[in-house]
Amino acid sequence: MMHPGCRIEQVYLCRDPVDFRKSIDGLSALVEQELKLDPFGSALYVFVNRHRNKIKVLYWHRNGFCLWLKRLEAEKFAWPREADGATQTVTIQQFEWLLEGFDLWRNAPHKTLHFGSVS
């Protein structure tokens, strides 16, 4: 998705807006020190600005950090309102839907059911 051959296992949305003057060094330090996550892991770390019209995505690829930015011209990104902790984990597919403008928290999928037996 981000880079050919880049294996992504997790997507972390940082719930609180960040100062978008931060670049690779500031965001990777935030991931490690404040979020207590591994910035070198096979994950995307996604940040939003205060106006929710820009996101930055930080990830490690083989031998260096990559930083990706998307700016919306007319709308806002849906963002998690209620969550435990500083991050919200989503799947790659959910992240793609978020980029397309879907509100993952308003339009929830069917609940997963777990049964012990059929009778």
Q: Model confidence over 19-65: pLDDT tens digits?
A: 999 999 999 999 999 999 999 999 999 999 999 999 999 999 989 99
Q: Any residues with CB less than 8 A from the CB of 115 and at least 6 apart, and which? A: none
Summarised one tens digit per residue, pLDDT across range 80-98 is 876 678 899 999 999 999 9
pLDDT at 102: 87
The H or E element that residue 95 is part of is: helix 92-100
Which pLDDT value is given to residue 4? Answer: 65
Supply 83's token pair: 């969550």
87: nearest Cα among 48, 52, 41:
48
